[in-house]
Each structure stands twice: as C-alpha cells, then as structure tokens.
C-alpha cells in the first residue's frame, strides 16, 4: 500500500500525470505477471484528509519485499521509461508530493 499526500493545490496535477504515465506502466507489469497480480487506487474525495491517494498493489508473494526498494509505482515507471525519462518525470511530479509512505498489509477477501 502506498499513501500519497500532495502539496496543496497539486493533487489534480498528480492524478493527471499518474493516469497518463504511471497507470499504463502498472497495467503492463500486471500483464507480464512478474510481481503484481492486481492494482487498485483510491482518491480522497475531501480536501481536508491526510492522504490524497492510496495505491493498493497485490503481489504474487512477499519475496520481492526482502530488499529495500523504491515505491512500487516508481519502480514500474522506471522500468517502462528508462532512467533519463524517469528522472525528468520524477523531478516534475516530485514537486507535487509532500509525503509518500509505503506499508505492507495482508488482505482478506470476504464473500
């Protein structure tokens, strides 16, 4: 789970960039089946919340979490764009993010 708090007035810019650049990279990663099996993202409907976006990644296993890495949405984007394009995009979008927090959770499906 990745929680993102944007700097004031930048959440819309972040979402637009995410949907244009990052979301296609996540879809590609799911199709390849390397690490992710599913993905959901949530947007806070009210501006006074502590978190603007929550990215929920479902992984094949916890084995990929053995080493410290960059947040998963950055990782797939880096693989798709390459280092130069990723660095340029991160420089722009990094100005919009106030906080990025990664947590590992286990989900239980209830039917």
User: Would you say residue 109 lies in a domain?
Assistant: no
Say if residue 63's pLDDT is above 80. Answer: no
Considering the entire predicted model, what is its pTM?
A: 0.83
| Total domain count, the chain | 1
Q: What is the mean pLDDT of the chain?
A: 87
- Angle 90-104-5 (CA atoms, 0-180°, nearest 5)? 40
Hey, what are 4's tokens? 């993102």
Give the number of residues written for the chain.
111
Q: How would residue 111 be classed by pLDDT, with cut points 50, 70 and 90?
A: confident
User: Would you say residue 110 lies in a domain?
Assistant: no
Q: What is the CATH number of the domain that holds 91?
A: 3.30.70
Domain that includes residue 79, residue range: 2-102
Question: What's residue 93's pLDDT?
Answer: 79
User: Would you say residue 108 lies in a domain?
Assistant: no
User: Would you say residue 78 lies in a domain?
Assistant: yes
Say if residue 65's pLDDT is above 80. Answer: no
Percent of the chain with pLDDT over 70: 94
Say if residue 60's pLDDT is above 80. Answer: no
């Amino acid at each position: 789970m990745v929680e993102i708090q944007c700097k004031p007035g930048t959440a819309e810019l972040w979402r637009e960039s995410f949907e244009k650049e990052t979301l296609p990279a996540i879809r590609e990663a799911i199709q390849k089946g390397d690490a992710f099996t599913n993905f959901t993202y949530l947007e806070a409907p009210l501006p006074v919340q502590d978190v603007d976006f929550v990215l929920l990644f479902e992984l094949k296993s916890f084995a990929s979490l053995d080493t410290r890495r960059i947040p998963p949405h950055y990782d797939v984007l880096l693989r798709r764009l390459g280092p130069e394009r990723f660095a340029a995009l991160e420089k722009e979008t990094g100005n919009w993010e106030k906080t990025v927090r990664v947590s590992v959770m286990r989900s239980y499906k209830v039917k």
